[in-house]
A and B are shown apart, each in its own frame.
Chain A
Amino acid sequence: MAVIEVYEKSRGLAMMEDLYAALEGRIGVSAPTSCPVEFASAFAKLAVAQSCGKCTPCRVGLVQLGELIDGILDGYGVPEDIDLITELAESIYYSADCAIGYEAAAVALRSIKGFKDDYLFHIEHNNCGADSFAPVPCVAACPAGVDIPGYLALTAAGRYNDALSLIRKDNPFAVACGMICEHPCELQCRRGMMDDPINIRGIKRYAADHCDANVLPAKAAPTGKRIAVIGGGPSGLSAAYFLALMGHEPVVFDRRSQLGGMLRYGIPAYRLPRDILQAEIDFLLSAGITVETGIRVGEDLTIAELAEQYDAVYLSIGAHKENRLGLEGEDAEGVFSAIDILYNIGGDEVPDFNDKDVIVVGGGNVAMDVARTALRMGSKSVRIVYRRRVMDMTAQAAEIDAAKAEGCILQELVAPVGIELADGKVCGLKVQPQMVGAMPAGGRPAPVPLDEPAVTLACDALVLAIGQVIDYHHFEAAGFKVERGRFVAAKDGSAGHADGIFVGGDCSSGPATAILAIAAGKAAARSIDTYLGFDHSISVDVEIPSALPKGKAYCARANMIEVLPQEIAGDYSLVECGFSDQEAQQEANRCLRCDHFGLAALRGGRSFSW
């Protein structure tokens, strides 16, 4: 009888896992502008390395696939190669015996389908047509193109006011973003190839916390041009701020009593304190922005009137209308939309949730925000129900963890199917247990009902956080083009149906992040300035500390901690603690200075104006 050895991870296997982890980290931070054809070539080689070699399609086919792609990269390709690559990949896909082969082929097919133009560009020009390789990955990943290495270096040097000025060259909401930015920059941080990405938002927050004087850059000479900005959220205010610096006269219209849009009415105060937000907005207004709050465009005045009276219009009304479940009883007492609750909190009118059992439906950041807010409103319990798995939720992991830590109950894999009422008031949510099923490539799995009876979860209040839509009707009637519920805008933000009308932010992108809305406002400011016949630039006069060769040292990433309230009801104070001086120093100094080392040495690591 053969001896069965006790399974033990060999040194070799452990080492391989270590190498795989390094590979994963490296791929994780690949610049989004890498050449898709180079990637396909490298992927084919990687797949060959995983092949056992038994079967023809994998052993020979993947190698030939790589050769064909390399031929294109080496400048020997002809357009017919694309047909051969497709035919070969299809054949590998259909005839390989195991996933090593057919999954490699599936990726190759996706690549050739999705990037056919890139393949053809290589064939035609023997050159890469993908957007040129970004010298500074974090800056390229930031929608607003904020000079991240620059403000990290300024923060490390203790020059917090300069850091804020540098950020505001591209992103006026430096303080707010220090609190709530989704930080896509960190996903691309090259430091991730070494240990962990830099905690960029943490350093921004630290600089903002320590900035003691907001400095307004020099304004251009008055142009006399008036621009109507409809919607005083992050996008509208960013556009207005830059337009004011360019010497124009922006007038911001907002239907609510206070400015800030989703920053005020969508993000809870415990993440972005209202006084801090207001202080930043007041600073931006000091650039020379006129404000008209409580004006509902479409009722109090029409877009046509604004277009008539102003030299240009920027529409940035956001996505403030709630989605609905489509169940009976949705209008009953005790059923709320997340947006309404967050609005009312933002507007300082708190509904009574004292001692109530609350159910929140949804799995996005708004669901987490409203659930945590419900706790602060005095709820007895808060249960978040979601029809897929927790791992499929679109909310950021940190938000989910915080909701759990504060005491929210997460109930996954249940879909609302009915609202139970008693005396016209909500008393429960009927939910159908689900399993996850088909998984589209790159998407989230479809929930499938289980053959089990529906159950009713008792509650006194039901909050729906299942997404927001855009209230576009007035504007569509006025000529704005709407597709899939969003305003259509050209790349430069122009709405297209009339000259001088621009549109951006959530109302054009669909509900997204603050930084995307801010970036859209920046782009709109540039386009409007150009449309008005000017060539103003926004610049900053800050000297960036030189990148010094410090030597490499592996060092883990510092994270900001959240201190959860002991008595949560009624406590809307900020939960996230900014970095200590020590943490900020260490973290800022972890920056690899891609603005100096690497391609930036050739292409330049920054621009002081745009």
Chain B
Amino acid sequence: MVKQEVTVTIDGQIIQVSNKMTILGAAKKAGINIPTLCYLKGVNDIAACRVCCVEVEGSDQLIAACNNQVVDGMVIKTKTPKVKKSRKMNVELLLSQHDVQCASCVRSGICELQTLANNLNIIDSRFVEQIEPFEWNTSLALIRDAGKCIKCMRCINVCDNVQATHIWDLKNRGSRTTIGVKDNKIIEESTCALCGQCIVRCPTGALRERDDTDRALGFLDDPEITTVIQMAPSVRTAWAEHLGLTHEEASVKRLVAALRKIGFDYIFDTDFAADLTIMEEGSEFVHRFTHKDEYPWPMFTSCCPAWVRWIKGHYPDMVDCLSTAKSPQGMFGPIAKTFFAQKIGVDPAKIRCISLMPCLAKKFECIIPALSDAGAGPDVDMVLTVRELERLLKSEFIDIAGLEEEEFDSPLGIGTGAGEIFGATGGVMEAALRSAYFLVTGGNPDPDAFADVRGLDGWKEATFEVPGAGPVRVAVASGLGNTEKLMEALRRGEVEYDFVEIMSCPGGCVNGGGQPVTDDAGAPLVRGQILYGLDKHNVYRFSHENPSIVLVYDEYLGAPLSERSHHLLHTDHHSWKMPNEE
């Protein structure tokens, strides 16, 4: 029988660990840091970069620490000349094929290759530079700069195994091996969801979003233009992670102050639009639930544009299960360019609506003509990810910590706790159930009655009893790999639900593909907790009690699912096509 607990010696230190542990894990337990590069815990342990190689007594070859298990009696050395030389050499080799333009790279300062090369004290280049040419359509939301790719293959494994989207693949072989779009397609022809998870897992600047900050500054510089900016719930959880602010300084109100300082005219909260989404989607659910025979089941949420792209690309036969409600961003735009434009007496053609989003797919969503209904150009003119927001704030050289906190503008700046939690997996479901309960019973439930759908599990289920409506079977999935499992189980008839919330990014928007890059695996949890804290302390915890929601229905929309609501806030998901649908 193989021993479960083994004794190994690492750099002279003797420790007991499980025999299932990798050398890397054992070293970490012993407090010994082995540098890694391609390795990404739970996603990529392919031992490709050979940076984590260590010496094991009895072996001439060095052994990768990331994917090799310890053996009883193993004597491991992590700092021998052989280890250090080959580690440095392998990074030098990667640098010889890396477009080392760090000063003009979006990942400078948070680049794993840069940090490693600096730590290894690599100051000359001894090899011929061989940079793969950068050939990509840079008008796309997702950009791949082949010259910066170090072939760590994380993107392939994230896309295949975490996101079940299968866009990236190895291309060519031998010295010409690189990453390409699967099946010899170009990215425009693929069913990429634009979740952006490959970007936030890329160790270098090889994958990034299209930078729109200059366009945003152009709007600010134009005296004819009125700028209206909205920020999604989860932006406030992470916007200052790389700006050197303390947790207290990084408040949402300080971000409002900074945006006002930069010159945005109206600063609003997507939380308001999230509440509006709840009113529409919740009402739609109640309608479908009480007219069961008329609809395919279950009803899927539609607020995540990467999920909408993915279901159209991968399960086109199930698109009619999607709620017809637009995403919160997509609802905010037409309200800003109709109701709000009228309120301030500005020609909507002179309004530029900008979104701050934790999301890459929203950059795509805002350019779909069929989703613009206000009749004044695009409902949302542009989307900046949180990473672009960081760069915008830096480029303005503002002393953010020194700013006084400021309030959102009115009336589209008021959001409820229900809107806040839209940024975390389960949040949309919880918010919808709070209001659906009200719509059915006429009374509010305990705001925390649906807390069972919280948490980072990839696929959650619950059944809630709604008096007068009976049991409502709900499911929540985040991450498209988990979503695929749920979809397959639905297809096989193994599960049955009434209402299903999907967020493409694991953990929800707090871990979105437009969020700041972090190597902290605990980030989704921490960011999500910020949202639940904001919900708990919000005066309003039900979307239907948001005074601005009451106002916009009273003065403009009439009621949820009204004709005007349908025109501005709902959409036909067949009105635009993914490449596979053409």
Contact = CB atoms under 8 A, between A and B. Distances in A.
B173 A128 contact: yes
Interface in B39-61: 45-48, 56, 58-61
A283 B294 CA distance: 55
24 contacts: A35-B173, A35-B174, A125-B184, A126-B172, A127-B172, A127-B180, A128-B172, A132-B170, A133-B173, A545-B2, A547-B68, A548-B69, A548-B71, A549-B59, A549-B63, A549-B68, A550-B58, A550-B59, A551-B58, A551-B59, A552-B60, A552-B61, A597-B47, A601-B47
B171 interface: yes
A548 B68 contact: yes
Contact of A602 (B20, B46, B59, B69): B46
Given A552-B59, A601-B67, A602-B153, A74 B176 contact: yes
Contact of A601 (B20, B45, B69, B176): B45
Per CB-CB distance, the 3 closest pairs between chain A and chain B, nearest first, are A551-B59, A125-B184, A601-B46
Contacts of A551: 56, 58-61
Interface of A: 35, 38, 73-74, 125-128, 132-133, 545-552, 596-597, 601-602
A127 B171 contact: yes
A546 B69 contact: yes
Interface residues of B, number: 27
Contacts of B60: 551-552
B56 A73 contact: no
Contacts of A547: 68
Nearest to B76: A549
A38 B68 contact: no
Contacts of A132: 170
Contacts of A597: 47
- The dominant DSSP class at the B interface is loop
B71 A549 contact: yes
B259 to A, nearest CB: 44
Nearest to A601: B46
A165 B198 CA distance: 39
Nearest to B44: A602
A605 to B, nearest CB: 11
- The dominant DSSP class at the A interface is loop
Contacts of A601: 45-48, 67
Nearest to A545: B2
A597 B45 CA distance: 11
A434 to B, nearest CB: 45
Contacts of B184: 125, 127
Contacts of A548: 68-69, 71
B174 A38 contact: yes
Nearest to A133: B173
Contacts of B173: 35, 38, 128, 133
B47, B69, B71, B172: most-surrounded residue (chain A CB, <10 A): B172
Given A35-B173, A74-B176, 10 more contacts: A73-B172, A127-B171, A127-B180, A132-B170, A548-B68, A550-B58, A550-B59, A596-B67, A601-B46, A601-B48
Contacts of A546: 20, 69
Interface in B1-24: 2, 20
Nearest to A34: B173
A174 B56 CA distance: 37
Interface string B159-191: 000000000001111101000100010000000
A291 B47 CA distance: 51
A73, A132, A551, A601: most-surrounded residue (chain B CB, <10 A): A601
Nearest to B20: A546
Contacts of B176: 73-74
A596 B173 CA distance: 19
A102 B247 CA distance: 75
A30 to B, nearest CB: 12
A596 B59 CA distance: 17
A552 B61 CA distance: 7
Contacts of B46: 601-602
A128 B173 CA distance: 7
A35 B176 CA distance: 12
B395 to A, nearest CB: 37
A552 B71 CA distance: 16
A35 to B, nearest CB: 6
A601 to B, nearest CB: 4
B358 to A, nearest CB: 30
Contacts of A127: 171-172, 180, 184
A549 B68 CA distance: 7
A35 B71 CA distance: 37
Contacts of B20: 546
B438 to A, nearest CB: 45
Nearest to A549: B63
B125 to A, nearest CB: 22
A547 B20 CA distance: 11
A595 to B, nearest CB: 12
A359 B20 CA distance: 62
A551 B55 CA distance: 10
Contacts of A38: 173-174
A596 B47 CA distance: 10
Nearest to A546: B69
Contacts of B63: 549
Contacts of B156: 602
Contacts of A125: 184
Contacts of B180: 127
Contacts of B2: 545
A550 B71 CA distance: 9
A128 B46 CA distance: 22
Nearest to B67: A601
Contacts of B171: 126-128
A125 B172 CA distance: 10
Interface string B496-510: 000000000000000
Nearest to A132: B170
A67 to B, nearest CB: 15
A537 to B, nearest CB: 14
Nearest to B57: A551
A133 B68 CA distance: 23
A135 to B, nearest CB: 11
B214 to A, nearest CB: 32
